[in-house]
Amino acid sequence: MASTWLITGATSGFGRLVTERALATGAHVIAVGRRRDRLAELVEQAPAGQVTTVELDLTAPDAQAVLADTVRAAGGLDVLVNNAGYGLFGSVEQISAEEARAIIDTNVLANLTVLRATLPALRASQGRVLQTSSLIGQFAWPSSGLYAASKGAVELISEALAHELTPTGVKVTIIEPGTFGTEFATNLQVVLPNDVYAPTVGKFLNDFSALPPEAFGDPNAVADAIMTVSTLEEPPLRLAVGADAVENIRASLRSRLAELDRWESLSLTPARQAA
C-alpha cells in the first residue's frame, strides 16, 4: 500500500525536491504551500490523483483544522516533512517586535500547528516526523539571532517530542542543512545594520553575499538525505547535511564543552566549594 506524506513548504526548495522524490516512490503527497501557481504545477506533473494540494498560510487561525481534515480525508498519514519557514537576518537590537513576532509565528508556532494536526494520524501509523532546522539551529552567527532562535526552538521542541513519542513508535529526526543553493538565500529578509553593528553584522552579511556559487551545496543532497532517513528503522535524532554543517556544528559543540570545562569550578555550589 502506498504511503501518504504531508510536506509543508512543498512549492520550492527542499520541500519541492522531497515532494518530487516522494511522488516518484508512488506515495500520495499532501503538498502544502501558499503559491497557487506552483501547487498547480505539482498537480500537472504528478500522476493523476497522487497529489492533494492545500493552499494555506500556516499561521492562519484555521490552519490546524484544515490540515487535520485533509489528513482524515486522505485516510491517514505516514510521513510528515515539517519544512515551511523563512529567514530573517539583522542585528538583535534592530529587528523590530513585529519582525521578531512574525518569524516566531511562522518558524515555530506554525510548526507546532502542523504537529498538532498530524500527530494523531502519525501515531496510528507509527510514522515519521522530519523537522527541517538549520546548522544555525545549534549556534548563532552575527545577524542570525532571531532566525537561529526560531530554529533552536524547533530543535528543542523536536528533541522533547522524540522522547515523548518513544512508546508510540513514531520516530523524529531534525534535519540540519548547511548552506545550499535554494531560493532561501534570495528570499530571506535582511535588516541592514547601522554604524554600531557594521563591524559585526555588516561584515558577516557582506562576506555572505560575496560567497561564490560553488560555496552553495546542491540541494538535492538534502532531499536525498531526507528520503534516506525516512526509511531507516532507527533514524538519528539530528542529521547535519553538508560539510559546512558538520564542521560548524562540531566546532560549536567543542567550544561549548571547552567553556563548560573552563568555568566548571564557578558552577559548583557554595556547599561543595566549602567542602
- Active-site amino acid positions: 147
Strand order in the sheet with 79-82: 51-55, 28-33, 4-8, 79-82, 128-132, 171-177, 238-241
Q: Which three cell numbers stand for residue 54?
A: 492545500
Chain centre to alpha carbon of residue 22: 18
Q: What distance in Å separates the CA atoms of residue 76 and residue 78, rounded to the nearest whole number?
A: 7
Burial string for 2-22 (b: 16+ CB within 10 Å, else e) reads: ebbbbbbbbbebbbbbbbbbb
Number of neighbours of residue 76 by Cβ within 10 angstroms: 15
Q: For cell 562576506, what's the residue?
A: 207
Give the relative orientation of helices 145-165 and 97-104 as an angle to the nearest 10 degrees: 30
List Cβ neighbours of 185 (8 Å cut-off, separation of 6 or more). Answer: 179, 216
Q: Which of 103, 96, 90 is nearest to 150 (CA)?
A: 103
In this structure, what C-alpha cell is assigned to residue 25? 516512490
Report which residue type is found at 96. S
Smallest Cα–Cα separation from 191: which of 102, 112, 117, 105? 102
